[in-house]
Chain A
């Protein structure tokens, strides 16, 4: 027992309900200020002394033992004269008589009461949530349950992809279970991470063998006597021997509520941590302060300081809320976030990406002060940013190098040329192809290389992902001195990157990049989510590279392609149904006429591509218009698409006295084969039945002119601002050859042209000879191109109108959110 300074005066009695981190930290602070003021009794439900709850994850992962995370052993309580009652729960507070009564029947009087009951995991109320085998992740007992399950092996499903859920998932994986994480949102840890960092984290977890399902909404936990599976609302069922619920926490307010204290989401306290009863204080996760509840340790400690000062008799200290920061405790995965990183008015995003090291950093600055930060892969400056954030430090003096961190500075780092010069010959420059500095320098001197392309050709350095291009250029400059003329710079894709369209495409293939955030991270984009130039281009490149695998990003499409109609100057839309080869019928025309009447469509016009355009359709009417057109057998004409538009035809040998072949029939076949494809820019085809060329086939992207002996294929033409007549590619004898050449030509254009480059400028850039070499001279290559085209078509020929008319896709696009006033 501690000594009393004045044993004759009876001391005040302090009872602490809760033996967790907040309650005990308050006592530590209090003992430092006023060691003899109180007789202290602590109630703890768990049978343990006070331990570091945030270190349960390392215990689960086997990196620490329980003993290593104990904060205060029983001897500490003894030394400080604290009466510790573990395994007993306070059930009643009698505020009138100032006593608490525990489950054991024990009643203890108090002068001051501190409620620190913490929180409990929120168990989502789905059927089966109470089955054995379903646990939260809160205390040592939960960890023991998980470790027992892990010892038996089998499958674990973790519901919740936040901080705790991911730490649990990692621990269970390390312990040998098959782990799947279910997350309701589409970004892991979405409260702490932005989309880029979330994507990196997901990749890392998947690399470790943890399956991640986002957008996963749990419907039921299945099992008879114990859990056997988790069923999602979409019907998917995941077998499970263990289910960990980590979707959030709930402040434990029951005790406070029953005692009649003011409670909201938590027990309400003022800035002195005092509840609605002046004799009762509260700290920790059970508390609601200024409308906020907290689930992280730093705020608890700040509260503890204030509560201790208050209990010690002070009046100065006040808690004004906390700015929080988080770190994920998964070994080898460094994630840090702090403050408000959503950005906003007058905010500036400073983004740094180092793909080679897997680093992403984003610091949000407003009025020269840090507002928030997200760090992935390199978090050593997290504390520095957080300190400046909390202190409101003016960052203007270090603004230019802020993103590089605290230790940034010195000649070598600031001057990239000096940095490269300082590297030893054995330093690897090109990680993709394993090329060292010495190899590159030797090649430059011995082979007389003078530019980047030559270095790429001879050494492969920077020939894959291109992220070392800058360093290779520095080596050229260092080695050749004034003899290096620099590179003739191709135009970068947009202001978000220095890379050209071709470089980005090469990297998508070489680095296996499969999403827009992936590309932006690995290729070190300067903006958080690109711009209206690069996003549609990246979406197209990914779609072209990974048919059937890449999921189209509608948010990266121009409005016309997003809603499958053409926006007009007044914000209404025009609708063009497909008319195969320019053919229509009484039934189709009747349906169109009915739609025009029904929706009061103001203008109906015949287009240059041999179809009918309905102008002035209101956006919210689009799905209903499409439904009616669908009912008559019509589908989208893609008149809005960077894709196949029309196949214009003349009537050909079926009716025309000059016709040499069935040009209309061939046009229909071509349109059936090519519709629905996405291309770098719009593509128009035509088939003329004889050299009179009534279908104007020789100013199309690909035009077929029928002759007696077969078919001439003309390519690279267009009307428009710069009219270009086609070049003759080849003459073939059969329709089958026309179809094969068309497929191969479309695919070559899809794979080689830059986004928004039509076939005419593409052909002029690469040369007709190149196209002939690939399509005419190389029969095998032609067949392979055609096969790739047809494969990609197998995923693209679903009518987008039907999907939207039924309401199954993008319903939100066509209805206002609300009507007010």
Chain B
């Protein structure tokens, strides 16, 4: 792990429903934390690159989430839209230490928009 990042504990893995999501409010806007069926935790900006839909409200399957507004599928690890759609949701480093979920907010990387329709 990058030692230069300062990590902020925001809750525990158990606080996030499996195959679900919780939101953390930050200065960068809302960050959506996802917990997959395999208990992996990911953090993305809570904004679909397509039309800004709240990804935290989508269905989580495998390591992906489907946006609730127009069913874009976003890869949780990279924030990239799954083809043929193009765009990338903002991404935030996250790690789990002894069940505590920690965000590396300083290393937040903003997203880039998609096709812009809808």
- B101, chain A: closest CB distance, angstroms: 8
- A812–B62 touching, CB < 8 Å: no
- A528: B residues at CB distance < 8 A: 37-38, 62
In the bound complex, what is the Cα–Cα distance between A195 and B35 (angstroms)?
13
Query: Which residue of B18, B25, B59 contacts A535 across the interface (Cβ within 8 Å)?
Result: B59
Interface-facing stretch out of A344-352, A631-639, A741-749: A344-352
In the bound complex, what is the Cα–Cα distance between A352 and B23 (angstroms)?
34
- B74, chain A: closest CB distance, angstroms: 11
In the bound complex, what is the Cα–Cα distance between A349 and B17 (angstroms)?
22
In the bound complex, what is the Cα–Cα distance between A554 and B19 (angstroms)?
10
A555 touching B77 in the complex, CB below 8 Å, given contacts A343-B38, A343-B63: no
- B36: A residues at CB distance < 8 A: 342-343, 529
- B77–A816 touching, CB < 8 Å: no
In the bound complex, what is the Cα–Cα distance between A557 and B26 (angstroms)?
28
- B24–A567 touching, CB < 8 Å: no
Query: Which residue of A190, A347, A536, A821 contacts B27 across the interface (Cβ within 8 Å)?
Result: A821
- A530–B51 touching, CB < 8 Å: no
Query: Which residue of B23, B40, B52, B61 contacts A531 across the interface (Cβ within 8 Å)?
Result: B61
In the bound complex, what is the Cα–Cα distance between A450 and B37 (angstroms)?
43
- Convert B75-89 into 0s and 1s, putting 1 for each residue whose CB lies closer than 8 angstroms to a CB of A: 001100000000000
- B62: A residues at CB distance < 8 A: 343, 349, 527-529, 531
A821 touching B105 in the complex, CB below 8 Å, given contacts A344-B77, A529-B62, A571-B53: yes
- B19: A residues at CB distance < 8 A: 529, 555-556
Query: Which residue of A345, A536, A571, A818 contacts B24 across the interface (Cβ within 8 Å)?
Result: A818
- Convert B1-27 into 0s and 1s, putting 1 for each residue whose CB lies closer than 8 angstroms to a CB of A: 000000010110001111110111111
Check B111 for interface membership: any CB of A closer than 8 A.
no
Check A234 for interface membership: any CB of B closer than 8 A.
no
- B105–A555 touching, CB < 8 Å: no
- B69: A residues at CB distance < 8 A: 567, 569
Query: Which residue of A532, A536, A571, A816 contacts B25 across the interface (Cβ within 8 Å)?
Result: A816
Secondary structure type dominating chain A contacts = loop
In the bound complex, what is the Cα–Cα distance between A559 and B53 (angstroms)?
12
In the bound complex, what is the Cα–Cα distance between A341 and B40 (angstroms)?
10
Interface residues of A in 310-361 (CB under 8 A from B): 341-347, 349
A194 touching B57 in the complex, CB below 8 Å, given contacts A555-B19, A569-B51, A819-B25: no
- A344: B residues at CB distance < 8 A: 40, 63, 77
In the bound complex, what is the Cα–Cα distance between A569 and B63 (angstroms)?
24
- A817–B57 touching, CB < 8 Å: no
- B78: A residues at CB distance < 8 A: 345
- B53: A residues at CB distance < 8 A: 569, 571
- A345–B61 touching, CB < 8 Å: no
- B15–A812 touching, CB < 8 Å: yes
A817 touching B38 in the complex, CB below 8 Å, given contacts A346-B77, A347-B63: no
Q: Using CB atoms, name the residue of chain A closest to B22.
A: A817
Q: Using CB atoms, name the residue of chain A closest to B97.
A: A291
- B82, chain A: closest CB distance, angstroms: 11
In the bound complex, what is the Cα–Cα distance between A529 and B38 (angstroms)?
9
Query: Which residue of A194, A532, A569, A816 contacts B61 across the interface (Cβ within 8 Å)?
Result: A532
In the bound complex, what is the Cα–Cα distance between A558 and B59 (angstroms)?
7
Check A721 for interface membership: any CB of B closer than 8 A.
no
Check A820 for interface membership: any CB of B closer than 8 A.
yes
- B22–A816 touching, CB < 8 Å: yes
Query: Which residue of A341, A555, A557 contacts B18 across the interface (Cβ within 8 Å)?
Result: A555
- B91, chain A: closest CB distance, angstroms: 10
In the bound complex, what is the Cα–Cα distance between A817 and B62 (angstroms)?
22
In the bound complex, what is the Cα–Cα distance between A819 and B28 (angstroms)?
11
In the bound complex, what is the Cα–Cα distance between A186 and B58 (angstroms)?
22
In the bound complex, what is the Cα–Cα distance between A535 and B61 (angstroms)?
9
- B38–A341 touching, CB < 8 Å: yes
How many residues of A are in contact with the other chain, CB < 8 A? 39
In the bound complex, what is the Cα–Cα distance between A279 and B39 (angstroms)?
42
Interface residues of A in 553-587 (CB under 8 A from B): 554-560, 563, 567, 569-571
In the bound complex, what is the Cα–Cα distance between A708 and B22 (angstroms)?
57
In the bound complex, what is the Cα–Cα distance between A349 and B22 (angstroms)?
25
Query: Which residue of B11, B60, B63, B71 contacts A555 across the interface (Cβ within 8 Å)?
Result: B60
- A817: B residues at CB distance < 8 A: 10-11, 15-16, 22-24, 33
- A288, chain B: closest CB distance, angstroms: 13
In the bound complex, what is the Cα–Cα distance between A557 and B16 (angstroms)?
16
Q: Using CB atoms, name the residue of chain A closest to B70.
A: A569
- B15–A529 touching, CB < 8 Å: no
- A536: B residues at CB distance < 8 A: 59
- B18: A residues at CB distance < 8 A: 186, 195, 555
Interface residues of A in 144-161 (CB under 8 A from B): none
- B10–A818 touching, CB < 8 Å: yes
- B115, chain A: closest CB distance, angstroms: 16
- B44: A residues at CB distance < 8 A: none
Check B54 for interface membership: any CB of A closer than 8 A.
yes
Interface residues of A in 337-394 (CB under 8 A from B): 341-347, 349
A342 touching B60 in the complex, CB below 8 Å, given contacts A558-B68, A817-B33: no
- B22–A812 touching, CB < 8 Å: yes
- B73, chain A: closest CB distance, angstroms: 7
In the bound complex, what is the Cα–Cα distance between A571 and B17 (angstroms)?
20
In the bound complex, what is the Cα–Cα distance between A819 and B20 (angstroms)?
19
- B77: A residues at CB distance < 8 A: 344-346
In the bound complex, what is the Cα–Cα distance between A567 and B68 (angstroms)?
8
In the bound complex, what is the Cα–Cα distance between A121 and B16 (angstroms)?
29
Q: Using CB atoms, name the residue of chain A closest to B53.
A: A571
- B51: A residues at CB distance < 8 A: 569
- B46, chain A: closest CB distance, angstroms: 8
In the bound complex, what is the Cα–Cα distance between A569 and B53 (angstroms)?
7
Chain A CB within 10 A, most for which of B16, B36, B78: B36
- Seed contacts A567-B69, A817-B22; 19 additional CB < 8 Å A-B pairs: A194-B37, A342-B38, A343-B40, A345-B78, A349-B62, A528-B37, A529-B19, A532-B59, A532-B71, A555-B59, A555-B60, A558-B59, A559-B57, A817-B33, A818-B11, A818-B25, A819-B25, A820-B27, A820-B103
Query: Which residues of A line the B interface, CB within 8 A?
Result: 186, 190, 194-195, 341-347, 349, 527-532, 535-536, 554-560, 563, 567, 569-571, 812, 816-821
Q: Can you spell out 14 A-B residue pairs with CB atoms less than 8 angstroms apart?
A: A341-B38, A342-B39, A343-B38, A344-B77, A529-B61, A529-B62, A555-B19, A556-B59, A558-B68, A571-B53, A817-B11, A819-B26, A820-B103, A821-B26
Q: List the 10 closest A-B pairs by CB distance, nearest first.
A: A345-B77, A532-B66, A817-B22, A555-B19, A821-B27, A818-B10, A342-B38, A529-B37, A559-B57, A532-B59
